Amino acid sequence: MKINGSCHCGNIRYQADGEFGDLLSCNCSICSKRGSLLWFIPRSNLSVSTPDKPLSTYTFNSHKIKHHFCPVCGCAPFGEGEDGKGNSMAAINARCVDNVDLSQFKINHFDGKSL
Ligand SMILES: [Zn+2]
């Protein structure tokens, strides 16, 4: 299942491959301020279709997760990091995915604040 997404201005576009669903609402400091809803896939399943466009990156705390955002419109379409086993993962912000009704999906709550 191919999923297309972008930031608000379209500067950053991507295609993600996987079974869309299993959305995660995390209460950590950045997810709560951004209001992201995350969908995790292997990094190799994410293809950025605008590699020539600037993508700003924010890191904090242990600086292990790259929180990308568009320098033009400020939307944060995805992030990159590793799972507990060292696999490269992409955290897709489901709110930047095109043409999906997010109300149809179950949202799991994750206590990232306590990590
Ligand atoms: Zn943008």
How does pLDDT run along the chain (115 residues), one tens digit per residue? Answer: 899 999 999 999 999 999 999 899 999 888 889 999 999 999 999 999 998 999 999 998 888 899 999 999 999 999 999 999 999 999 999 999 999 999 999 999 988 888 7
Residues with CB under 5 A from ligand 1 (ion): 7, 9, 11, 70, 72-73
Q: What is the pLDDT of residue 55?
A: 93
Q: What is the pLDDT of residue 112?
A: 85
Task: Show the beta-strand stretches assigned E in the chain.
Answer: 2-6, 13-17, 23-26, 38-42, 46-48, 56-58, 66-69, 78-82, 88-93, 107-110
Kindly give the distance from the C-alpha atom of residue 45 to the centroid of ligand 1, in angstroms, as a whole number: 21
Kindly give the distance from the C-alpha atom of residue 46 to the centroid of ligand 1, in angstroms, as a whole number: 18
Domains along the chain? 2-114 (2.170.150.70)
List the end-to-end C-alpha distance of the chain, in Å, as a whole number: 32
Residue 42, SS3?
strand
Kindly give the distance from the C-alpha atom of residue 105 to the centroid of ligand 1, in angstroms, as a whole number: 25
Residue 35, SS3?
coil
Q: Which residues contact 92 (CB under 8 A, 6 or more apart)?
A: 3, 5, 14, 16, 38, 39, 40, 41, 46, 77, 78
Kindly give the distance from the C-alpha atom of residue 106 to the centroid of ligand 1, in angstroms, as a whole number: 27
Q: What is the pLDDT of residue 40?
A: 95
What region, left, alpha or beta, does residue 31 occupy, with left being phi > 0 and alpha being psi -120 to 50 degrees?
Answer: alpha
